[in-house]
Amino acid sequence: MNNNSKVLALKYRPQTFDDLIGQEVVAETITNSIKADKIPNAYLFTGIRGIGKTTTARIVAKALNCSNGIEKICRENFCENCESIINSSHIDVLEMDAASKTGVDDVRDLIEFSRYGPTSAKYKIFIIDEVHMLSKQAFNALLKTLEEPPEYLKFIFATTEIKKIPITVVSRCQRFDLSRIKSSELFEFIKKIKDKENGKVTDEALKLIVKISEGSVRDALSLLDRALLSLDENTELDLNSAQKIFGYFDKSQLIDLFELILKGEETKVINIYRKIYDQGVEPKVFINDFLELLYYFKNINSLTLESTNFALNDEEFSKIKSISNKVESDVLVLFWQFAISSLEELDIVSNQHLSIEMFLIRLMHLQSVKSQKKIEPEIEKKTINEIEENISSNKIIDQIKNISQEEKNKPQVQTEIKSENKILINSFDDLLLICSEKKEIKLKYELEKNVNLVKFEKNRIEISFNDSLDKDFVKDLSSKLFDWTTERWIITFSKSKGEMSVKEKQLNNKKLLIDEAKSSEAYKNIIENFPDAELIDVKIKKDEGQND
């Protein structure tokens, strides 16, 4: 095949460790191990797609079998062994795709083939791509050979899903985690490729390609290939053209939209969104990009242009930084929550476009929420005299006071409420009684059936509970105790089992009374005359003169 007819991902595939980008540590470690003659039985390369797993495997195979040795390894004029490995035609280097050969029989054939030494190279090497696709039986068949292979045999595995490989296999390999390629390195790499191909592409368009590729070299080269083929030879690919080709819209539009949302200019916001929508941007893509922008607004002061993975250019970065200083963090957090909920709504509504418009309108109305939140600090500014006036005129106080106000007014407030509404609760029985009087049936039910009392003290109740206890029990009980006693109560859970619940006590007492009644003569006489009779309940008849 003519080299010029190859796609860029194959044409510029690295052939030596020096050609690899972003994997310097891996390359250095492997080179040093070969030089020191401490070569592992098996290599395992893992990472996302397109970062060089299979490429690295082939380079390792060349490093092990190069006719010139590791010290003088081929870099330009390749020896016979290296050339054969590059062309996938070397008799001693077998490359297998585990996705198409997953069975135990395939592995058995591989093991049988490994019994014979290399024909023309130093090592016989098996490169297994997508190794996680092998069956469980196939992995088991490999274990013994992996642990104690012949000296001439080496395995090189590559996978994108390391978790699917049995730990027994992973532990027999020397594992290398290949990292995503940094944005700056990938940008410089594809820029060099663009120059070699005499392509006319602006740096902004290249940065967009880097952004879309998410650290994958293969993806970046494929996108660059597509971009170069999309335009005439004399036309330069700029950011706008690249956005149309790849389906991305200008982030500056989103920043302008965000600024108008803060100003509450509804008509302009909707118009900008409709322009974005007309560019073919899907609603879910729009929301995800909006979430990304919110992240930048919230954390822009701790970020650099590099850390944004080229999602923003210099001008956009500066604009976000300027706007973010005028926006409060709580507003951004609220926006984030609304955006997440709107993302979920898109799976429910039939017209997602309308849902996004309503989402943007809701964000503008959140400004009123922000205004309401300013009421609390204003309440704190009230003077002590104003609060005392409210108390003397029997007004209900529902204000947030600072510590000094609260302490100064506390005795007066408590004295007045105590004289009118305060209820004393000195025991668990008192608590049950007040629940009955106040008709708090649900609360009383929880206390009697699902709560075991451990300790009852002044303003403090320690309990244990069963699995049926209502999740809002503590909140409800604390609220009612404060309403009834005008004092704060502490409700704590204990590991101790505590007393039997009220219902358990009642059932226990009932059982004792029934057992006692069954031993009486009257019961025995009844059973003799009515054998099918059953004693269900016992009621104690009080004497007429007995006090309650």
pLDDT at 130: 92
pLDDT at 221: 93
Q: Which two tokens stand for residue 5?
A: 């007819």
Contact 111, 139 (CB under 8 A): no
pLDDT at 543: 53
Contact 310, 187 (CB under 8 A): yes
pLDDT at 395: 41
Contact 241, 206 (CB under 8 A): no
CA–CA distance from 391 to each of 377, 382, 403, 511 (Å)? 21, 14, 17, 55
Degrees to nearest 5, angle at CA 142 with 140 and 146: 125
How would you write 375-418 as a 3-class SS string? Answer: HHHHHHCCCHHHHHHHHHCCCCCCCCCCHHHHHHHHHHHHHHHH
Contact 517, 535 (CB under 8 A): yes
Q: Is 43 in a helix, a strand, or coil?
A: strand
pLDDT at 302: 79
pTM of the model: 0.56
Residue ranges, the chain, pLDDT below 70: 1-4, 249-251, 304-314, 367-421, 540-548
pLDDT at 309: 53
Could you tell me which of 252, 330, 325, 260 has the C-alpha nearest to residue 289? 252
pLDDT at 2: 57
Q: How far apart are CA 276 and CA 254, in angstroms?
A: 9
pLDDT at 318: 81
Contact 531, 485 (CB under 8 A): no
Supply the angle between the helices 428-437 and 441-449 in degrees, to the nearest 10.
150
pLDDT at 158: 95
Give Rg (Cα) of the chain. Answer: 38
Q: Is 302 exposed, middle or buried (0-12, 13-18, 19+ CB in 10 A)?
A: exposed
Contact 459, 488 (CB under 8 A): yes
Instruction: State the virtual CA torsion across 211, 213, 215, 220 in degrees, nearest 10.
Output: -110
**What string of DSSP letters covers 438-499?**
TT-HHHHHHHHHTEEEEEEETTEEEEEE-TTS-TTHHHHHHHHHHHHHSS--EEEE-SS--S
In single-letter form, the type of residue at position 275 comes to K
Q: How far apart are CA 161 and CA 110, in angstroms?
A: 22
Count of helices and strands (H, E) across the chain? 25, 8
Which is it for the CA torsion 142, 147, 152, 156, positive or negative?
Answer: positive
How would you write 47-74 as a 3-class SS string? Answer: CCCCCCHHHHHHHHHHHHHCCCCCCCCC
Domains and CATH numbers, the chain: 3-177 (3.40.50.300), 183-246 (1.10.8.60), 272-367 (1.20.272.10), 380-419 (no CATH), 428-499 (3.30.300)
Q: Where are the alpha helices (DSSP H) in 247-351?
A: 251-263, 266-278, 283-299, 314-324, 329-345
Region for residue 118 given its phi and psi (left: phi exceeds 0; alpha: psi -120 to 50; beta: otherwise): beta
In single-letter form, the type of residue at position 469 comes to L
The 10 Å Cβ neighbour count of residue 450 is 17
Kind and range of the H or E element at 448? helix 441-449
Q: Which two tokens stand for residue 318?
A: 């500066």
Degrees to nearest 5, angle at CA 22 with 17 and 25: 65
